Every structure is written in structure tokens, then in C-alpha cells.
Structure 1
Amino acid sequence: MTVAEALSKERIEELIKDLPGWSTDGRKIERTYDIAHVPGAAFVVHIAAIQDDLGHHSDATLSYGGVRVEISSSDLGGYVAEHDVELARRIEAAAAGHGAT
């Protein structure tokens, strides 16, 4: 089994540069999507399914008019690893199908 390694802020920025709207503070990657409330709830359920598929979980918060996603690795003390970026890529790929922008 490969042990995940925490990425530098510079490396994270490089890996997410093609993910519009995603940003990092060096400890997590995050994005807020604009989406209506009921479609947003369906999007959160889809995010949960993606997380289960990858065996990796993040925080997804539903609010009226938006969904906020924050991703980091608890096993790395809350830092970001490459599998966090993969999760963001999968979430981003699902967003348009829910009308999230």
C-alpha cells in the first residue's frame, strides 16, 4: 500500500490550475458552487457517492443557493495529497450535470 504524501502549496496550485473555481490555502482545496437548493441536495448525494467510490471523504455543505466543498486528508493532519485532487476532479466532472457553476 502506498502512503500518501502531503503536497506543497505550489504543487497543489499546479495540480488544480485546470479546475476552475478551486483554490488552496496549502492545507485544503476548496470550491463553492452556485446551484439551486434542491439540485444542490442531489449534487451533495452525488458527491457522497464519488467519495465512497474513491474511499476518501471531504466536507460538502449545502446552503440555499450553493454547495461548498473542502477537501484535505485527515491521515495527513489536514494537508492535501494527490488523491484529494483526484476527488476534486471527479466532483468537478459531476458538477455540470447538476447545473452547478
Structure 2
Amino acid sequence: MPLEPLSQKEVEDRLAELPGWSLAETAQQAAASGSSLTRSYRLGSHYAATALVVHISQVQQELDHHAEITLGYDTVSLAVCTHSAGGALTERDFELARRVEELAPGHGAV
């Protein structure tokens, strides 16, 4: 069962609860009126960044929802949207972002 896209107002309200997260659009999403939740974290080392990615992967498996993750030397960047909703944002995207926000400080992410 596909998830329903959130309205612009719902997206803005939920985004206000996630400091550090923002909206970004790909060309494909712009054509479909979609966007992604994005956030980058800086960590103390490559090892810490890798550990954060592994932890995020566990959460993604629990939620059965997966972000685009980019691992740099000491950075982790995420882009989250619901592909089955045409690249729009759904409640599941915000749940994943909230869960990542909860676990990131434990890895020393800023």
C-alpha cells in the first residue's frame, strides 16, 4: 500500500521540528512536485562516520525505508524521500529523519 504524500503545510510543520534538515529537489522531483529531506553531519573521524552509517542502516531496516546516504571521510549526508509516492515526502521520511537525529549525537555527529 503506497504512502500518501504530505501537504506543503504538513511538510513545513514537520520540518520545523527537525533543526539542521532542509528540503532539496532533483530535476525529476521538481517535475513531479517532490523534494527530499536532506542533512549532513560532521564527525570526528572516518571510523565514527562509518559507524553512524551502520547505525542508520539498522534503523532503515526496522522502518523498511531507505535514504540515499553519502559517506565521506568524516561526513555523512542523507537525502530522504518516498520513491513509491513519486519522490514526494511522506510521514515515513520524517520518521526516518527523527530517528537519525536521535542517534547521531551518540556518534559525536554535529
TM-score by length of 2: 0.84
Matched, 1:13 2:12: yes
Matched, 1:31 2:30: no
Count the aligned residue pairs: 100
Give the equivalent residue in structure 2 for 1:4. Answer: 3
Contact residue 12 and residue 24 of structure 1 kept, 8 A: no
TM-score by length of 1: 0.91
Give the equivalent residue in structure 1 for 2:86. Answer: 77
Q: How far apart are 1:13 and its partner, in Å?
A: 2.0
- 4+ aligned runs moved over 3 Å, structure 1: none
What's the C-alpha RMSD, in Å, of the aligned pairs? 1.4
Q: For structure 2, list consecutive stretches of 5 or more residues without a partner in the other structure.
A: 25-33
Contact residue 13 and residue 23 of structure 1 kept, 8 A: no
**SS at 1:24 equivalent:** strand
Q: How far apart are 1:11 and its partner, in Å?
A: 2.1
The structure whose Rg is larger is: 2
Query: Comparing 48-57 with 26-35, which one deviates more in the overlay?
Result: 26-35
Q: For structure 1, list consecutive stretches of 5 or more residues without a partner in the other structure.
A: none
Give the equivalent residue in structure 1 for 2:104. Answer: 95
Percent identity of the aligned residues?
42
